[in-house]
Amino acid sequence: MGLTKQYLRYAASAVFGVIGSQKANIVYVTLRGGERGRYVAVAACEHVFIWDIRKGEKVLILQGQKHEVSFLCPSPDGVHIAVGYEDGAVRIFSLLNGESNVSFSGHKSGVSVINYDALGAQLVTGSKDTDVIVWDVINECGLYRLKGHKDIITQALFLQDKNLLVTSSKDSFVKWWDLDTQHCFKTMVGHRSEVWGMVLLNQENRLLTGSADSELRAWDISYLEEVRKTEGEPKVKKGKSLLDDDDDDDDKEDHKKGDEDESIEERVLSCKKAGSILREARDRVVSLTSDSKAKVLACHGDDSVLELFTVLSEEEVQRKMNKKLKKAKKKAAKAQDDAGEPVVERALKDEIIRLTNIKASAKIRSVWSGELKVALLLQNNTIETYSLKTLDKTPTANKTARLTLGGHRTDVRTLAFSSDNLAFLSASGDTVKVWNRSTLQVIRTMACDYALCSLFVPGDRQIILGTKSGKLQIFELASGSLLETKEAHDGALWSMCLAPDQRGVITGSADKTVKFWEFELIKDKGTNQKRLTVKHTRTLQLEEDVLCVKFSPDHRLLAVSLLDCTVKIFYTDTLKFFLSLYGHKLPVLCLDISHDSTLIATGSADRNVKLWGLDFGDCHRSLFAHDDSVMFLQFVPKTHLFFTAGKDRKIKQWDADKFEHIQTLEGHHREVWCVAISPNGDHLVSSSHDKSLRLWERTREPIILEEEREMEREAEFEESMAKGDVPVVPGETEGEAAPAGKKTVETVKAAERIMEALELYRDETRKMEEHKYACESAGKELPPPKCNPILVAFGNWACLCLLTTSELEVSLLVLPFPYVPELLKLFNSYIQQGLEVELVCRCLFFLLKIHFGQITSNQMLLSVIDELRTNTLSRVCQIRDVMGFNGAALQFLQREIENKEDVMFFADASGRLEEKKKKRRKRERAVLTIA
Ligand SMILES: *[C@@H]1O[C@H](CO)[C@@H](O)[C@H](O)[C@H]1NC(C)=O
Ligand SMILES: *[C@@H]1O[C@H](CO)[C@@H](O)[C@H](O)[C@H]1NC(C)=O
Ligand SMILES: *[C@@H]1O[C@H](CO)[C@@H](O)[C@H](O)[C@H]1NC(C)=O
């Protein structure tokens, strides 16, 4: 084959223009010990961007691979962040260096929620596939998969000191799980619609849930062990909220249901509805969160208002109730009422108080509240932060920052490169931005009308936009000002093309005309300075809406695409009709003419690209180009290669002479609207409905088409593999708990690697034995045989060191049994040498578990197993002793240091204080009873 024709590869070089993607949430993070509330992390398509709010700068990018980020959760110590993706993967990044070395794959579809436990040692993830998985962060492995919900998991929370988990789902249920037994011991059925969020309040004695209506339901939770302990003490009687009077009947129903389940379910805790708070918004809760101390609640629906509530502490509530009681007594005294002691019922609204509302400047997508700080991710690619004073009489929230500069609020519909390749512009529904190509910094941001087409005026000092309302807008870059708005057409101005002599432009519009314009310098009346304007010279009237116009580079011809699916060619000088190109079944949305004016390529909403000769209008070839409308088509300057982009999210490169597809640029997650190619052909910039702009760069790497196709097939295969042979059935109900991992391409590859390594090892051992035999028979030392370089590099350890530990179990599960006995023998030798004992033990136990029958019934393995038993035991004991010794040493050191410095170290001093107080209280009570 060889290189028939050399094509160069274009490669992704940057993602920008997106401030925060709508798919995921926003969180505050701490960076390099920086102050709290200064940095936020948001998803930006497949990456995570960390923004410095104060400076409005992107300070860190956590690189993703292919799938969009769907959830973010920082670790309690602030050093890591867990990132969930649309394909179900979870990766943990270090916020110190932005690198990820832990990844978990267990979900079949997008991760919808992630939470750490209080220590940061465990992670719970919930997904659209309805499963909940608990992961061990330290051992980097999955612990268990909890099945039971029947729809997307919307929240999953660990309880602090109990080994319990509470999860909520769109299936309207809240489930409590005992993690010791991996069993769901309680299902709360009190919601009649989706549960969209929940928070734990009052030292986890209250659960607040948000669902599809304006009611936030509060549930009192009592943990039964504690209840038993504190039996005998008078229970605080809590009244019901006045607010839920109206749906009392429903409550009774709920309670009745609850009572029925009680006998079976009330083992660990009991849960009673305590009332509800009404939100002002009528729609569903989109997010419901609290700050880290659970003092402030924040909640919003699908609009621009954030509602904030304060949760009062027990003392505060008591004080409030006392005040109320006093008032009531006074009133009673005044009224000379002998009805007896006035009663003040304690209601939920005395405990949770509306604080204030924040009206954001667009619909809110996500909220994260820190202490007195709120960060909002808005639905129009904006981040806003607010600070609030909760202690004020009328608490208000002030906007502290707004991040908008680095992107557009609405989709970018047109892009253009400057003639010197150094800058490009992007224009959306309300602004046009000019970017520095090398730094990707915004040079200018200017307000404009809804732009549909654009270009740099030769000289790169001005830009012209064509708008949806039919106007031409001219901007000057030096001053960043709008020079002129010209009413050009009576309909949308779809297309604009610079004349080859660079003296003017033509515009095509939905008003069925093509207009010719000439650049002109006129004296501005006000400033008496010369400024650029355009003068209308000629008009070409057509029968149909004009979608696209283009000059041939030799200026002889003019191509016009019309709404009736044809492309008509006219002579530029006389405006006489020359040719009509028939063939597309839907309108041509984009077209271009090659640099030598011989070829015209048209891209249509019918998904095809057609190549025509410009001499006779003959169709050379029709190519099925995209899986949806072709939105963009342009030749690479000075070549017969061209690029197309489609609503199928792809950008493709083609050869117009050989009719070959060269390369596909994938990356965008939504339809691609437009692309611009730099005049020297080295760069491409593209924009998409996913709000991202992407820069692509021509590399020096040649593309060999056969290899390219092969790679595409492989990628397709892996994709189908990743989707899994098991179809994703929402609410599969096999059992409640299942292994956490899933079969992926990686695990299959890992199993293959184990097999390869074992075979290698087998060969090598045989070689060594033959060598020994040869030595013995010859009676002298022979030179040893050549060792395989891999074995030299890794020792005979090769087969396991290639595994990632989070995939270990699944990889071993895929490993065929005939390899197991050998692996066991190897394990024995590892254990004897004391190599990676923990890892080997994990593998060993897992293998024993899954192949128990086959291993125990195999006579050959008897001695191996026997040896393994003694060796493992002694090794593990040894390790345990070492750890115990080290632990004791550390404790000793801690005591020494504490004695010397007279400070508490490593321990939470406040916790101890609490304990002491408690003890004192207990003692006091004891004294009292004796007295
Ligand atoms: C979107 O964001 C901008 C922030 O620049 C804001 O001014 C605008 O009102 C927002 N809302 C909508 C609906 O565009
Ligand atoms: C918010 O702004 C008002 C007036 O501008 C000011 O009086 C108030 O102190 C500010 N509040 C906060 C929390 O900064
Ligand atoms: C882009 O930024 C680089 C580096 O700061 C600078 O040298 C260059 O002049 C800038 N280009 C434009 C067009 O502003």
pLDDT surpasses 50 at 243: no
Strand partners of residue 288: 299
Pairing of strands 364-370, 373-378: antiparallel
| CA 398 to ligand 2 center in whole angstroms | 6
The first and second tokens of residue 827, run together, are: 């394990």
Q: What is the pLDDT of residue 923?
A: 42
- For 451, counting Cβ atoms within 10 Å of its Cβ (0-12 exposed, 13-18 middle, 19+ buried), the class is buried
Q: What is the pLDDT of residue 740?
A: 63
Greater pLDDT, 594 or 783: 594
Q: What is the pLDDT of residue 742?
A: 65
Residues with CB under 6 A from ligand 1: 361-362, 380, 382, 404, 409
What's the whole-number mean pLDDT along residues 612-622?
Answer: 91
Atom number, ligand 2, closest to the C-alpha of residue 387:
13
What's the whole-number mean pLDDT along residues 429-437?
Answer: 93
800, 843 Cβ separation under 8 angstroms: yes
Highest mean pLDDT among 64-68, 144-148, 675-679: 675-679
Residue among 379, 381, 409 whose CB has most ligand 1 atoms within 8 A, to mutate = 409
User: What residue's CA is closest to ligand 3, atom 14?
Assistant: 436
* DSSP code of residue 35: P
268, 303 Cβ separation under 8 angstroms: no
pLDDT surpasses 80 at 73: yes
802, 749 Cβ separation under 8 angstroms: no
What's the whole-number mean pLDDT along residues 793-797?
Answer: 54
What's the whole-number mean pLDDT along residues 616-631?
Answer: 92
The C-alpha angle 395, 397, 401, rounded to 5 degrees, equals 160
pLDDT surpasses 50 at 433: yes
How sure is the predictor about 489, in pLDDT bands with cuts at 50, 70 and 90?
very high
CB burial string 205-225: b at 16+ within 10 A, e below? bbbbbbbbbbbbbbbbbebee
Ligand 3: does its nearest atom lie under 6 Å from the Cβ of 528?
no
Q: What is the pLDDT of residue 189?
A: 86
* Residue 426: other Cβ atoms inside 10 A: 26
Residue 537: closest CA among 504, 570, 561: 504
User: In whole angstroms, what is the distance from residue 463 CA to residue 253 CA?
Assistant: 67
Greater pLDDT, 375 or 833: 375
Q: Cα 783 vs. chain centroid, distance in angstroms?
A: 58
Determine which helix (DSSP H) or strand (DSSP E) holds 402, and give its type and residue range: strand 397-403
How sure is the predictor about 444, in pLDDT bands with cuts at 50, 70 and 90?
very high
Atom number, ligand 3, closest to the C-alpha of residue 423:
13
Q: What's the 3-state SS for 528-545? A: CCEEEEEEEEEEEECCCC
pLDDT surpasses 60 at 238: no
What's the whole-number mean pLDDT along residues 294-306?
Answer: 87
Q: What is the pLDDT of residue 518?
A: 93
User: In whole angstroms, what is the distance from residue 850 CA to residue 853 CA?
Assistant: 8
106, 134 Cβ separation under 8 angstroms: no
Q: What is the pLDDT of residue 574?
A: 92
Contacts of residue 828, defined as CB under 8 A and 6 or more positions apart, other chains included, come to 864, 867, 868, 871
- For 263, counting Cβ atoms within 10 Å of its Cβ (0-12 exposed, 13-18 middle, 19+ buried), the class is exposed
| CA 916 to ligand 1 center in whole angstroms | 54
Of 15-29, 46-60, 656-670, 909-923, which range is least confident?
909-923
Residue 451: closest CA among 392, 408, 417, 419: 408
User: In whole angstroms, what is the distance from residue 42 CA to residue 24 CA?
Assistant: 7
User: What residue's CA is closest to ligand 3, atom 1?
Assistant: 436
Q: Beta-strand (E) ranges in 418-529?
A: 423-427, 431-436, 442-447, 451-456, 462-467, 471-476, 481-487, 493-498, 504-509, 513-523
Mean pLDDT of the chain: 82
Ligand 2: does its nearest atom lie under 6 Å from the Cβ of 388?
yes
pLDDT surpasses 60 at 490: yes
What's the whole-number mean pLDDT along residues 390-418?
Answer: 85
pLDDT surpasses 70 at 807: no
pLDDT surpasses 60 at 221: yes
Ligand 3: does its nearest atom lie under 6 Å from the Cβ of 439?
yes
User: In whole angstroms, what is the distance from residue 253 CA to residue 758 CA?
Assistant: 63
171, 150 Cβ separation under 8 angstroms: yes
User: In whole angstroms, what is the distance from residue 653 CA to residue 664 CA?
Assistant: 6
User: In whole angstroms, what is the distance from residue 43 CA to residue 62 CA?
Assistant: 9
Percentage of residues in the chain having pLDDT higher than 90:
41
Greater pLDDT, 659 or 851: 659
Q: What is the pLDDT of residue 750?
A: 73
Q: What's the 3-state SS for 481-510? A: EEEEEEECCCCCEEEEEECCCCCEEEEEEC
- Ligand sitting nearest the alpha carbon of 445: 1
Residue 610: closest CA among 585, 647, 627: 585
pLDDT tens-digit profile of 876-892? 888 889 889 999 999 99
Q: What is the pLDDT of residue 692?
A: 93
Q: What are phi and psi of 654, to 5 degrees?
A: -135, 160
CATH superfamily of domain region 412-709: YVTN repeat-like/Quinoprotein amine dehydrogenase (2.130.10.10)
Highest mean pLDDT among 16-20, 338-342, 788-792, 821-825: 16-20
What string of DSSP letters covers 201-262? ETTTTEEEEEESSSEEEEEEEEEHHHHHHTTTSPPPP-PPPGGGGGGHHHHHHHHHHHHHHH
Q: What is the pLDDT of residue 931?
A: 32
How sure is the predictor about 395, in pLDDT bands with cuts at 50, 70 and 90?
confident
Fold of the domain built from segment(s) 14-107 = Thrombin, subunit H (2.40.10)
Cα torsion at 320, 326, 330, 333 (round to 10°)? Answer: 140
Q: What is the pLDDT of residue 792?
A: 57
Q: What is the pLDDT of residue 201?
A: 87
pLDDT tens-digit profile of 354-363? 888 888 888 8
Q: What is the pLDDT of residue 472?
A: 93
Rounded to a whole number of angstroms, the distance between the first and last alpha carbons of the chain is 103
Q: What is the pLDDT of residue 264?
A: 46
What's the whole-number mean pLDDT along residues 310-323?
Answer: 84
pLDDT surpasses 50 at 262: no
pLDDT surpasses 50 at 248: no
User: What residue's CA is closest to ligand 1, atom 3?
Assistant: 361
465, 426 Cβ separation under 8 angstroms: no
What's the whole-number mean pLDDT along residues 537-558?
Answer: 93
Q: What is the pLDDT of residue 852?
A: 80
Strand partners of residue 802: none
How sure is the predictor about 487, in pLDDT bands with cuts at 50, 70 and 90?
very high
User: In whole angstroms, what is the distance from residue 838 CA to residue 663 CA?
Assistant: 46
What's the whole-number mean pLDDT along residues 814-818?
Answer: 78
pLDDT surpasses 50 at 3: no
* Cα Dmax for the chain: 121
> What is the chain's percent helix, strand, coil content, to nearest 5?
25, 40, 35
Q: What is the pLDDT of residue 865?
A: 83
- Ligand sitting nearest the alpha carbon of 379: 1
pLDDT surpasses 80 at 725: no
User: In whole angstroms, what is the distance from residue 211 CA to residue 217 CA?
Assistant: 8
User: In whole angstroms, what is the distance from residue 609 CA to residue 618 CA?
Assistant: 14
Strand partners of residue 579: 569
* Residue 372: other Cβ atoms inside 10 A: 17
Q: What is the pLDDT of residue 722?
A: 61
Percentage of residues in the chain having pLDDT higher than 70:
84
Of 169-173, 367-371, 489-493, 708-712, which range is least confident?
367-371
pLDDT tens-digit profile of 184-195? 888 888 888 899
Greater pLDDT, 914 or 857: 857
pLDDT tens-digit profile of 830-866? 778 777 777 788 788 888 887 887 777 777 778 888 8
Atom number, ligand 3, closest to the C-alpha of residue 437:
1
